[in-house]
């Protein structure tokens, strides 16, 4: 069958896998795990994949799973990613299947990603005779700041080698879905080029000389200098960074002192840096050091600046972003695609995959029609709610990304 004929049937086929996907999602939601070590999650995913014609590789450095589906014909490989980890936070949704783990919650929709990817594995397994190539299902831990994708790559995820018959099958497309509460259920958005920002953190430690609060002239007080640094960092971004190639610098932590009448020896500032280009990212890093060192020197203080490098910018390949938009219109409906006007300043480690393999990520809306996405609890909220009706669209899109590439 031609790709167009198959794509036209995917929405109905995906609905056949909806109930199983919902059941798996609810199991995962009740038992969230954090970081790269997710033994319960991995076991539940393996149980859901059992019986499918997949080659399974269990990663050793993390709980990552690489599952491969060999199509009936020669061709390239498509990578489909679903992240598995939860967040270290409480849940207050009141759902019947709320988290049973204190201090852990699937508040970013990763449980839906996993369940939708398993659904796509089932759907595509039934379609393997139509596939010219191979599908690599990437079940990834550690997306929430733990560099899970990089760990899987370091362990050889992208070194897929030849097919079982010896023919070459390089990875030529990568695709991921991220559930969001900021769109109505079943609507999908993305854009070409930078989609999500880089994410780094910084710490500035200002060191002086402590003493009695009544005699500041006998000390080197780090507190006023730290306050100046906070204000100057905000001004630095607005004065030195191009508004059309933006950055966000937010100070989220300021610590100093132990008593009302004691001038402390040191003060510490911490925060986050977001950018949508490597050029701006470097300018902000350099600017933080310059501002902190200059102000500290003016007050005769010492300063230590530490910048922790996090995730890179997530950049969609232009052609693949356009393909993704076409697939959404075909599978979900022409009115269901929304082109993002600007990047999202949140960060994602799927960017490390897109740095190596051309592809795209899309956002799948999951806020029901009786709620306003503008005021609904956002991703990472203790009260976020994801409408499970959106999951059949996700199953269809994962499947469409593979079918479109492996039947044309």
15 has a pLDDT exceeding 70: yes
Instruction: State how far the Cα of 46 lies from the Cα of 401, in Å rounded to an integer.
Output: 23
* Burial classification of residue 159, based on how many CB atoms lie within 10 Å of its CB (0-12 exposed, 13-18 middle, 19 or more buried): exposed
**For the domain 198-311, what is the CATH code?**
3.30.70.360
Closest CA to 113 of 83, 93, 91, 143: 83
Cross-strand pairs, 57: 66
Q: Which tens digit of pLDDT belongs to each residue from 356-404?
A: 999 999 999 999 999 999 999 999 999 999 999 999 999 999 999 999 9
CB under 8 Å to 385, separation ≥6 — which residues?
93, 95, 181, 367, 368, 371, 376, 377
Q: Which tens digit of pLDDT belongs to each residue from 322-337?
A: 999 999 999 999 999 9
Please report the pLDDT score of residue 393 as a whole number: 97
Q: Identify the three-state secondary structure at position 151.
A: helix
**For the domain 3-195+313-406, what is the CATH code?**
3.40.630.10
What is each CA distance from 196 to 175, 183, 345, in whole angstroms? 15, 16, 6
Q: What 8-state DSSP symbol labels residue 63?
A: S
- Mean pLDDT within 78-106: 98
- The answer to whether 148 and 85 have CB atoms below 8 angstroms apart is yes
Query: Could you state, in order of their start, the residue ranges of all structural domains in the chain?
Result: 3-195+313-406, 198-311
Kindly report the average pLDDT of the chain as a whole number: 96
- Mean pLDDT within 266-279: 97
Q: Which tens digit of pLDDT belongs to each residue from 221-268?
A: 999 999 999 999 999 999 999 999 999 999 999 999 999 999 999 999
Q: Looking at 7-21, 80-94, 161-175, which range is the least confident one?
A: 161-175
């Amino acid at each position: 069958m031609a790709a167009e004929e198959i794509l036209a049937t995917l929405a109905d086929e995906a609905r056949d896998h909806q109930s199983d996907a919902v059941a798996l999602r609810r199991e995962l939601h009740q038992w969230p795990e954090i970081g790269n070590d997710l033994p319960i999650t991995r076991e539940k995913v393996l149980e859901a994949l059992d019986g499918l014609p997949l080659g399974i590789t269990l990663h050793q450095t993390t709980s990552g799973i690489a599952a491969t589906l060999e199509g009936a014909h020669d061709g390239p490989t498509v990578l489909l990613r679903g992240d598995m980890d939860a967040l270290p936070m409480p849940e207050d949704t009141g759902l019947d299947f709320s988290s049973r783990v204190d201090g852990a919650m699937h508040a970013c929709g990763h449980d839906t990603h996993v369940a939708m990817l398993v659904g796509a594995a089932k759907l595509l397994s039934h379609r393997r005779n139509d596939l010219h190539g191979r599908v690599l299902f990437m079940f990834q831990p550690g997306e929430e700041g733990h560099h899970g994708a990089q760990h899987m790559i370091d362990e050889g995820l992208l070194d897929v080698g030849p097919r079982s018959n010896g023919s070459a099958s390089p990875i030529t497309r990568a695709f991921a879905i991220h559930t969001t509460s900021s769109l109505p259920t079943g609507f999908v958005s993305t854009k070409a080029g930078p989609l999500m920002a880089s994410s780094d953190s910084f710490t500035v430690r200002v060191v002086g000389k402590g003493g009695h609060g009544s005699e500041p002239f006998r000390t080197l007080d780090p507190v006023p200098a730290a306050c100046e640094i906070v204000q100057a960092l905000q001004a630095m971004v607005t004065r030195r960074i191009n508004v059309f190639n933006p950055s966000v610098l937010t100070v989220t932590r300021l610590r100093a002192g132990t008593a009302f009448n004691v001038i402390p020896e040191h003060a510490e500032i911490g925060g986050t840096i977001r950018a949508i280009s490597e050029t701006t990212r470097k300018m902000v890093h350099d600017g933080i050091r310059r501002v902190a060192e200059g102000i500290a020197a003016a007050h005769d203080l010492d300063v230590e600046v530490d910048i922790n490098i996090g995730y890179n910018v997530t950049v969609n390949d232009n052609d693949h972003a356009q393909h993704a938009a076409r697939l959404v219109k075909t599978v979900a409906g022409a009115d269901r695609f929304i082109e993002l006007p600007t990047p999202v300043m949140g960060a994602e480690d799927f960017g490390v995959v897109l740095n190596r393999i051309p592809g795209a990520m899309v956002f799948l809306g999951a806020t029901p029609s009786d709620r306003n996405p503008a005021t609904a609890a956002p991703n990472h909220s203790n009260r976020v709610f994801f409408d499970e009706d959106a999951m059949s669209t996700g199953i269809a899109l994962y499947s469409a990304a593979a079918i479109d590439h492996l039947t044309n």
